[in-house]
């Protein structure tokens, strides 16, 4: 059985506090049911059964639009999951779980190498970039490279030069 870290400050977070109880339960379900790489295999009937809800996939994607990325094969990527679960040394870690998560993300096209040869987390859905660029990934160990799915050029790595990296990001910074 996999174990996951949880942020005890989430109850003070304005975003989380504003969720209705059913959406809080759904959010916990996604975090608990996703893979070690933050990939959730979409199964809305099972989600509804466990959470005692009646939502649709569209409801889910709309509610958590800045936290989830729909990917092929009926999967969703919870894009900040790996940073929160594995910490700021994700890129350099040799732990088996991290190596496996990186391999999974590589197979899905989310991990790669930029022009300088640095390992990079690559996201190609511009609808979800604002949160990622401004929270949680001002991390010297992991570079975020944004690609445009239409034109596909890789932009410069996204960093926030005014922010010192925090090795222990808060729930609000990540989710």
Is 83 inside any structural domain? no
Shared-domain flag, residues 15 and 60: yes
HEC readout, 54-77: CCCHHHHHHHCCCCEEEECCCEEE
Is 131 inside any structural domain? yes
HEC readout, 129-175: HHHHHHCCCCCCCCEEEEECCCCCCECCCECCCCCCCCCCCCHHHHC
Q: What is the mean pLDDT of residues 115-142?
A: 46
- Give the structural domain span for 25: 8-78
Highest-confidence segment of 9-13, 43-47, 65-69, 73-77 = 43-47
Shared-domain flag, residues 116 and 170: yes
Shared-domain flag, residues 60 and 114: no
Shared-domain flag, residues 92 and 156: yes
Shared-domain flag, residues 58 and 92: no
Q: What is the pLDDT of residues 92-125, one digit of tens each?
A: 888 898 889 888 888 887 776 666 666 666 655 4
What DSSP designation does 2 have? -
Q: Which of 24, 57, 78 is the last residue of a domain?
A: 78
Shared-domain flag, residues 97 and 50: no
Shared-domain flag, residues 100 and 68: no
Shared-domain flag, residues 16 and 43: yes
Residue 56 has pLDDT above 60, yes or no: yes
Residue 19 has pLDDT above 60, yes or no: yes
Q: Show the tokens assigned to 130.
A: 């604002």
Is 3 inside any structural domain? no
Q: What is the pLDDT of residues 158-174, one digit of tens each?
A: 333 343 444 444 444 44
The CA distance from 150 to 147, in Å, is 9
Residue 49 has pLDDT above 90, yes or no: yes
Shared-domain flag, residues 169 and 112: yes
Closest alpha carbon to 72 in 106, 42, 36, 112: 42
Query: What total number of domains does the chain contain?
Result: 2
Residue 139 has pLDDT above 60, yes or no: no
For 125, counting Cβ atoms within 10 Å of its Cβ (0-12 exposed, 13-18 middle, 19+ buried), the class is middle
Shared-domain flag, residues 67 and 123: no
Shared-domain flag, residues 14 and 70: yes
Residues in the chain: 175
Q: Is 109 left (phi over 0), alpha (psi -120 to 50) or beta?
A: left
The CA distance from 104 to 23, in Å, is 27
pTM, rounded to two decimals: 0.68
What DSSP designation does 18 have? H
Shared-domain flag, residues 63 and 94: no
């Amino acid at each position: 059985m996999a174990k996951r870290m949880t942020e005890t400050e989430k109850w003070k977070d304005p975003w989380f506090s504003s969720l209705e109880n059913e959406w809080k339960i759904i959010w916990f379900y996604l975090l608990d049911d996703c893979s070690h790489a933050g990939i959730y295999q979409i199964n809305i009937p099972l989600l509804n059964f466990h959470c005692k809800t009646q939502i649709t996939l569209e409801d889910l994607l709309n509610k958590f639009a800045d936290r989830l990325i729909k990917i092929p094969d009926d999967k969703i990527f919870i894009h900040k999951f790996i940073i929160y679960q594995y910490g700021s040394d994700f890129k350099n870690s040799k732990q088996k779980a991290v190596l496996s998560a990186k391999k999974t993300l590589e197979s899905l096209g989310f991990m790669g190498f930029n022009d300088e040869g640095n390992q990079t987390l690559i996201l190609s859905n511009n609808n979800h970039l604002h949160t990622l660029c401004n929270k949680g990934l001002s991390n010297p160990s992991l570079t975020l490279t944004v690609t445009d799915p239409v034109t596909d050029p890789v932009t410069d790595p996204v960093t926030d030069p005014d922010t010192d990296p925090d090795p222990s990001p808060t729930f609000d910074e990540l989710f």
